[in-house]
A and B are shown apart, each in its own frame.
Chain A
Amino acid sequence: MEQENLVVQMKGISKVYPNGIAANRDVNFTLRRGEIHAIMGENGAGKSTLMKILFGLEQPTSGEILVNGEPVVINSPNKAISLGIGMVHQHFMLVPSLTVAENIVLGMAPTKSRVFVDYKKAVEIAEENATRFNLRIDPNAKVVDIPVGMKQKVEILKALVRGAKILILDEPTAVLTTQETSELFKELISLKEQGFTIVFISHKLKEIKQITDRLTIMRNGKSMGVYETASISEEEISRLMVGRDVVLEVIKDKAQPSETVLKVRDLEYTDRWNKKMLDKVSFSVRKGEILGIAGVEGNGQRELVEMLFNLNVPDAGTVYANGKSLIGMPQNIIRDQGVSLVPEDRMTYGIADIASIEENVISDRFGEKRFNRGPLFNMREIHQESETLIVDYRILAKSRKQQVKMLSGGNIQKVVVARELSSQPTLLIADQPTRGIDVGATEFIRNQIVELSRNGSGVLLVSADLNEVIELSDSLIVMYGGKIVAYFEDTDQLDDITMGEYMLGLKHQTEEEIAKVCYE
């Protein structure tokens, strides 16, 4: 009886990517017919990989998949669709210049005399399904013009029109406003009542509690168990999600913070989807200390860093470094203030991929007098600078002329770190400095950051890696929903459970407690 009810069984799934990262380790996962099942876990826990395997986008290294009790090999999304599995990706896969109806029937468009697309029929199909599944859309609108919430409905309809009985939604609420989220939930529940099975990938506790029947928690590529949503508390979920497997220790002396180097006050920002990403964020960073920002990704940390380096402009608020306002300032002026940034997205901001290591490490200083002789570059000085940095920062490369994109992820990050740390910044902003890189490079970079702060620089460390942010920071703030919800002056006594509760929005401190991080 129980067996019949299981539409999907994934047994002993392991996945090792070509770069050696083991994203799934012996994961078991089952879906009952007609349930809403959450997969929870932090970024990098392996949720998306597991679902990509189910949807045929990735092949498991080992393990077995059964759909409706039959063993299957899902080697492509087409195969998954034919098995009745549909997926709505976090980043929508729609053609912006086509209408909603055209997107819905894309690849299976009804035709007139087998040649011309029957657009009228396409609209009919779209409308019919929209009514049937109770998803309100405008079939004639161009996708580029419709709001995010509607795009998501189009994606869901696309899957349903193709006959999906099992819907995988990858962090569906990450891009939605509160109203859109509650609308989505109503629709999902109505789909469930019609017999559809829904997988819901998320790390937002409240939502999960609200609409799911069961949940599977993942951490570090492993399943931490399956639970009935009603029988597990939010605290317990948070403990299972963010607990640390290995506690990593960083040896550092006690911080001796001196004067304020970065002063952020009342920063506010609403993104173009009308989502409030920063809500009255105020804090200060002092010389000689590492201030960490912990939080689950997507709670405003990225936007905050963008504002500090003028890669985006806030709606209100001020940012001062060494007493000088940074808002609206070109990056060369910001760098002149002694601010440097290890960016989160190293491939977009951190490097020029087809340029050489040498060209990458001098990008912030190539105009300096010592590197120029008259109108020409002083190549000798430039070679010397790059050779020194390659040695000092232990960049493994054939030569300074090697293209950066030929290096491993860890060494690419060392190129970025070499440039940003060697400029002797008074303030270093390190955004996810060790994400996705090997253990050796991680340790090296962490030690470099500690050394920099002990030599008197201020460091703002943003990291979604709880281990890193607790061990590396001297004091710590937690961001949730665009706000600072907690400030801990000392990280020594912090434990994962407390942190988890703040990070997932279960608790927050009083305004007086939080305001201490302004040191005024």
Chain B
Amino acid sequence: MSSDRRLLLFNLLRGAAAIFLALLVATALIFLSSKEPLTALKYLLLGPVISFKSTGMVFNTVSFLTILAAMTPTIFSGLAVCVMFSASQFNLGGEGVIMLGGFVGALLGIYLKLNTGLHQVVCILAAAVVGGLVMLIPALLKVKLGASEMVTSLMMNYIIMFIILHFLNFTFADRSKGATQSFPFEATAKIPEIVSNGTKLTWGLVIALIFVVIIALFMYRTKWGYAIRMVGINQSFAQYSGIQVGMIIVLSQVIGGMLSGIGGSIEMLGRYNTFLWRELPGYGWIGITVAILAKNNPIFVPLAALFIAYLDKGCQLMSINSDVPFEMIDIIQAAIFLFFAAEQFLAKYRQRIVVRNAQRDLALQEAAVSREGKLS
């Protein structure tokens, strides 16, 4: 096995070990706090895909499809964060932009009259454009004034949320309903389910997976993705090399905004009938978790999103069926983060691999040099 591959394998194993250890921590806590720890664990670990019946355990297709459906928006937000973090832009505005994307998609879904097919495309594209434009704000503030994009984008989330709520309350509300919500979307704007069984697993997931491929190609096979990554690794190097750093910083955030906007609109038109988000939907935050688990590599985003969706579902079931509260998910996530982020975790073993590789390389080089020497 080549040494590079061995390091890659090591990294994968390390990720798995981090997750395993985090679950061990969770297990310990469950045993400490719960009167029925085994039931709690059963639902946490197996519940999302298995139903427990008196006759035995059965694979629960519906529940599994629900998990897949829950992945859709977090794949988009995860991709958005991947692109922005790759340029070392710690933009946390995905949350607000997803809500805005949902709102823009919803409005066009309600008030535009178009044929189905075209209608969805127009809604999604509009959400992408608006998302990209909004992300120009933290990006330009950063490039022109040096304002930290982390602070401005974080604050922007709430500004966006309250502006949306204002218009929802005073302009677009359906007064015939008891709760504040918009009028229903036109049927032509709805994103259809893949299987119509109420799981709301829509073609949005397929679009999300297509975007995974597009973004992976963009980041590793185009000049823009290359520039984004170089700016992220070493901005001084990028500038000295002649890369227009300011433009790339803006580009990464605009793309992040577009992806968030698309994700928001697909989520809204796929899983809802009217716009009724009264607060930030939370997908943007999950996107950060997903991107960190995927180490900013778009290819790993679906895997990370699946894992988070599974964990979320497991914690839900555990809190319904046992005395362990749903908040356990925060502890598990925090523990995973801790082990993931800890560079030193298993670093000794990694160092041994590196040293061994280096020694072997040196030996090979020396052999090659002495061979050359003999030839000449």
Tell me the A residues contacting B by CB distance below 8 Å.
Answer: 309, 311, 330-332, 334-335, 341, 343, 348-355, 359, 363-364, 366-367, 371-372, 375-377, 379, 396, 398-399, 401-402, 406
Docked CA distance A354–B229 (Å): 10
Q: Is the CB of B242 within 8 A of A330?
A: yes
- Closest B-chain residue to A350, C-beta based? B237
For the complex, is B230 an interface residue (Cβ under 8 Å from A)?
yes
Docked CA distance A335–B242 (Å): 7
Q: Is the CB of A363 within 8 A of B233?
A: no
Inside 8 A of A334's CB, which chain B residues have their CB? 242
Interface size class of B (residues with CB under 8 A): 20 to 34
Q: Is the CB of A355 within 8 A of B233?
A: yes
Q: B234 contacts which of A352, A399, A406 (Cβ < 8 Å)?
A: A352
Q: Is the CB of A396 within 8 A of B365?
A: yes
Inside 8 A of A372's CB, which chain B residues have their CB? 223
Q: Is the CB of B244 within 8 A of A366?
A: no
Docked CA distance A366–B361 (Å): 29
Extra inter-chain contacts (6) besides given A334-B242, A352-B237, A363-B237, CB under 8 Å: A331-B241, A348-B234, A350-B240, A363-B242, A366-B226, A377-B221
B71 shortest CB reach to chain A, Å: 27
Docked CA distance A399–B364 (Å): 13
For the complex, is B239 an interface residue (Cβ under 8 Å from A)?
yes
Residue in B221, B226, B240, B365 with the greatest tally of chain A CB atoms within 10 Å:
B240
Q: Is the CB of B242 within 8 A of A359?
A: no
Inside 8 A of B243's CB, which chain A residues have their CB? 332, 363
B269 shortest CB reach to chain A, Å: 28
Inside 8 A of B238's CB, which chain A residues have their CB? 352, 363
B368 shortest CB reach to chain A, Å: 9
Residue in A334, A377, A402 with the greatest tally of chain B CB atoms within 10 Å:
A377
A83 shortest CB reach to chain B, Å: 33
A26 shortest CB reach to chain B, Å: 29
Contacts A330-B242, A364-B242, A376-B217 given; indicate if A351 touches B222 (C-beta within 8 A): no
Per-residue CB proximity of B227-267 to A under 8 Å, as 1/0? 10110011011111111100000000000000000000000
Q: B233 contacts which of A330, A331, A354 (Cβ < 8 Å)?
A: A354
Inside 8 A of B237's CB, which chain A residues have their CB? 348-352, 363
Docked CA distance A335–B240 (Å): 9
Inside 8 A of A309's CB, which chain B residues have their CB? 240
Per-residue CB proximity of B10-46 to A under 8 Å, as 1/0? 0000000000000000000000000000000000000
- Closest B-chain residue to A309, C-beta based? B240
Tell me the B residues contacting A by CB distance below 8 Å.
Answer: 3-4, 217, 221-223, 226-227, 229-230, 233-234, 236-244, 354, 358, 361, 365
Docked CA distance A402–B3 (Å): 11
Docked CA distance A223–B221 (Å): 55
Docked CA distance A376–B237 (Å): 23
Contacts A350-B237, A363-B230 given; indicate if A377 touches B244 (C-beta within 8 A): no
Docked CA distance A348–B235 (Å): 9
- Closest A-chain residue to B246, C-beta based? A330
Docked CA distance A174–B215 (Å): 49
Q: Is the CB of A366 within 8 A of B223?
A: yes
B11 shortest CB reach to chain A, Å: 13
Q: Is the CB of A348 within 8 A of B233?
A: no
Docked CA distance A332–B246 (Å): 13
Docked CA distance A406–B243 (Å): 24
Inside 8 A of B222's CB, which chain A residues have their CB? 375-377
Inside 8 A of B233's CB, which chain A residues have their CB? 352-355
Q: Is the CB of B244 within 8 A of A311?
A: no
Contacts A351-B234, A353-B234, A359-B230 given; indicate if A331 touches B239 (C-beta within 8 A): yes
Inside 8 A of B358's CB, which chain A residues have their CB? 406
Inside 8 A of B365's CB, which chain A residues have their CB? 396
Docked CA distance A376–B225 (Å): 10
User: 17 pairs across A/B with beta carbons < 8 Å?
Assistant: A311-B240, A331-B239, A331-B241, A343-B240, A348-B236, A348-B237, A352-B238, A353-B233, A355-B233, A359-B226, A363-B230, A363-B241, A364-B241, A364-B242, A366-B223, A398-B3, A401-B4
Docked CA distance A353–B235 (Å): 12
Q: A398 contacts which of B236, B242, B361 (Cβ < 8 Å)?
A: B361
What 4 A-B pairs are tightest by C-beta distance, nearest first? A332-B242, A363-B241, A352-B233, A331-B242
Inside 8 A of A367's CB, which chain B residues have their CB? 223
- Closest B-chain residue to A346, C-beta based? B237
A373 shortest CB reach to chain B, Å: 10
Docked CA distance A366–B221 (Å): 11
B133 shortest CB reach to chain A, Å: 22
- Closest A-chain residue to B365, C-beta based? A396
Docked CA distance A353–B233 (Å): 8
Q: Is the CB of A330 within 8 A of B230?
A: no
Inside 8 A of A398's CB, which chain B residues have their CB? 3-4, 361
Docked CA distance A335–B243 (Å): 11
- Closest B-chain residue to A368, C-beta based? B223
A448 shortest CB reach to chain B, Å: 20
A365 shortest CB reach to chain B, Å: 9
Docked CA distance A87–B268 (Å): 64
Inside 8 A of B241's CB, which chain A residues have their CB? 331, 363-364
Inside 8 A of A402's CB, which chain B residues have their CB? 4
A357 shortest CB reach to chain B, Å: 13
Docked CA distance A350–B237 (Å): 6
Inside 8 A of B226's CB, which chain A residues have their CB? 359, 366, 377
Docked CA distance A469–B284 (Å): 56
Docked CA distance A359–B227 (Å): 10
Inside 8 A of B242's CB, which chain A residues have their CB? 330-332, 334-335, 363-364
Contacts A330-B244, A352-B234 given; indicate if A379 touches B221 (C-beta within 8 A): yes
